[in-house]
Amino acid sequence: WKFDNSYLNLPRMLYTKVLPTKVRFPELVLLNKNLSESLALNTDYLNSELGSAIFSGNQIPEGAEPIAQAYAGHQFGYFTFLGDGRAILLGEHVTPTGKRFDIQLKGAGITPYSRRGDGRAALGPMIREYIISEAMHNLGIPTTRSLAVTTTGEYINRDKKLSGAVLTRVAASHIRVGTFQYIAQKGSLEELKKLADYTIDRHCPGAKNFVNPYRQLLKVAIYKQAELIAKWQLVGFVHGVMNTDNMTISGETIDYGPCAFMDAYDSNTVFSSIDYNGRYAYGNQPHIALWNLGRFAETLLNLIHKDLTKAKEIADIELAEFPVIFQENWMEGMRSKLGIFNKEEEDSELFSEFLEIIENQKADYTNTFIELTNVRKPQGEMEGNKEFLKWYIKWRDRLSRQSQSKAQSIQLMK
């Protein structure tokens, strides 16, 4: 490990120093060897009792100065002050090439922000976060990563008794929209500026060269989120709980709770059992991302311009870019999923017809693309569907209007 703890230089209100609560029988159940190597850690050394001790929070690696981070958030639209209630940041590991990664233990015990929670996590959800975050990474989607899962040898009480576990999460940072909301509410302008400058240094150092670095910070965050959400939509990923505390400024997907990949195509798909109104439904994710970015923009207004009216005008101009960037990225991704290399005016119609048909037929989203990739007319729900057959012929015509071969199209679709 080569720990640095630059977050400790930020205003005191943003964190509390706290140690993980020791567990009874730590046992390493998953170690991500690829990730460990790409972080230049000693994998053999970690794949041991010592690794279990570190990844469960029983032993603090040299140089780490553990903290719980404070943040706020709009949860299902309602503003609350929160913070790491069950996660503890060991520090920032800096790789030999100078890359900085947060190393965080999720499920490591209570903190001053735990409220009525027990500070613990169950094995099932931690393995789910491990699997889905690694799947997202390998699908080319920005995300926090998972380095290890340990069990604690202790039970935790949920609906029933469950095995306790700790997930080691690796992230570009854990700075959230909610982190800005927290300091904008509780801190001075000077303190807010410290967080903004720190975030610029970590995630968009180029912004410092602009006349208005804070406008640039907003622009970059909007750009990254628009790109990210387009990628989610393209693979049918439903985050489940897109509260502002679960949205990073780095543009990484974070906090895998009741998330999943949609099966039958339905824009109303919801995975959180408490999302009664479908606020975080699949089809709503781009709107929610923009709403969250609006909350981020609000926190920056005083830094963007002294005159609040002007600041709002600037923020609105930047926010208006979101749908444009989202659409461009989504169209590009859809073209790839359907083997299309060049652009045509009618592509958006071709795609919306396709989605309408599979939505009506309740066809499986990903499997329908796979069948098209296998150059088969889709089976199952789509077999013999006249509307679909018409669309299929239109699509094949579309593929013939480009110079690339069929084999190249299939490669692209894959």
Q: Which residues are catalytic?
A: 245
Report, in Å, the least distance between residue 21 CB and ligand AMP: 11
Instruction: Fill in the per-residue mask, 46 to 85: x = in contact with Mg ion (CB under 5 A), - = not in contact.
Output: ----------------------------------------
Q: Which does 20 bind (CB under 5 to 8 A by kind): Mg ion, ligand AMP, none?
A: none
Q: Which does 388 bind (CB under 5 to 8 A by kind): Mg ion, ligand AMP, none?
A: none
Report, in Å, the least distance between residue 257 CB and ligand AMP: 5
Q: Quick one: 31 or 89, whose CB is closer to ligand AMP?
A: 89
> Do residues 253 and 133 touch, judged by C-beta distance below 8 A?
yes
Three-state secondary structure readout of the chain: CCEECHHHHCCHHHEEECCCCCCCCCEEEEECHHHHHHCCCCHHHHCCHHHHHHHHCCCCCCCCCCEEECCEEEECCEEEECCCCCEEEEEEEECCCCCEEEEEEECCCCCCCCCCCCCCEEHHHHHHHHHHHHHHHHCCCCECEEEEEEEEEEEEECCCEEEEEEEEEEECCCCEHHHHHHHHHHCCHHHHHHHHHHHHHHHCHHHHHCCCHHHHHHHHHHHHHHHHHHHHHHHCEECCCCCHHHCECCCCECCCCCCEECCECCCCCCCCCCCCCCCCCHHHHHHHHHHHHHHHHHHHHHHHCCCHHHHHHHHHHHHCHHHHHHHHHHHHHHHHHCCCCCCCCCHHHHHHHHHHHHHHHCCEHHHHHHHHHCCCCCCHHHCCCHHHHHHHHHHHHHHHCCCCCHHHHHHHHC
Total site size for Mg ion, rule CB under 5 A:
2
Residues in the chain: 414
Q: Quick one: 69 or 409, whose CB is closer to Mg ion?
A: 69
Cα distance between residue 185 and residue 217, in whole Å: 19
Report, in Å, the least distance between residue 137 CB and Mg ion: 19
Q: Which does 117 bind (CB under 5 to 8 A by kind): Mg ion, ligand AMP, none?
A: ligand AMP
Q: Which does 359 bind (CB under 5 to 8 A by kind): ligand AMP, Mg ion, none?
A: none
Report, in Å, the least distance between residue 127 CB and Mg ion: 18
> Do residues 310 and 301 touch, judged by C-beta distance below 8 A?
no
> Do residues 258 and 273 touch, judged by C-beta distance below 8 A?
yes
Q: Quick one: 142 or 378, whose CB is closer to Mg ion?
A: 142
Q: Quick one: 179 or 246, whose CB is closer to ligand AMP?
A: 246
Q: Which does 373 bind (CB under 5 to 8 A by kind): Mg ion, ligand AMP, none?
A: none
Q: Quick one: 150 or 246, whose CB is closer to Mg ion?
A: 246
Q: Quick one: 220 or 270, whose CB is closer to ligand AMP?
A: 270
Report, in Å, the least distance between residue 68 CB and ligand AMP: 8
Closest residue to Mg ion using C-beta atoms:
255
Q: Which does 177 bind (CB under 5 to 8 A by kind): Mg ion, ligand AMP, none?
A: none
> Do residues 171 and 144 touch, judged by C-beta distance below 8 A?
yes
Q: Which does 84 bind (CB under 5 to 8 A by kind): Mg ion, ligand AMP, none?
A: ligand AMP
Report, in Å, the least distance between residue 245 CB and Mg ion: 5
Cα distance between residue 380 and residue 82, in whole Å: 47
Q: Which of 246, 253, 269, 285 binds Mg ion (CB under 5 A)?
A: 246
Residues that bind ligand AMP (CB under 6 A): 82-87, 113-114, 117-120, 241, 246, 255, 257
Q: Quick one: 55 or 113, whose CB is closer to ligand AMP?
A: 113
Q: Quick one: 26 or 178, whose CB is closer to Mg ion?
A: 178
Q: Which of 84, 129, 255, 275 binds Mg ion (CB under 5 A)?
A: 255
Report, in Å, the least distance between residue 87 CB and Mg ion: 8
Judged by CB under 5 A, the stretch of 4-12, 151-159, 167-175, 241-249 that binds Mg ion is: 241-249
Six token digits for residue 153:
């040898």
Report, in Å, the least distance between residue 36 CB and ligand AMP: 25
Q: Which does 119 bind (CB under 5 to 8 A by kind): ligand AMP, Mg ion, none?
A: ligand AMP
Other residues' Cβ atoms within 10 Å of the Cβ of residue 11: 17
Residues engaged in binding Mg ion (CB under 5 A): 246, 255
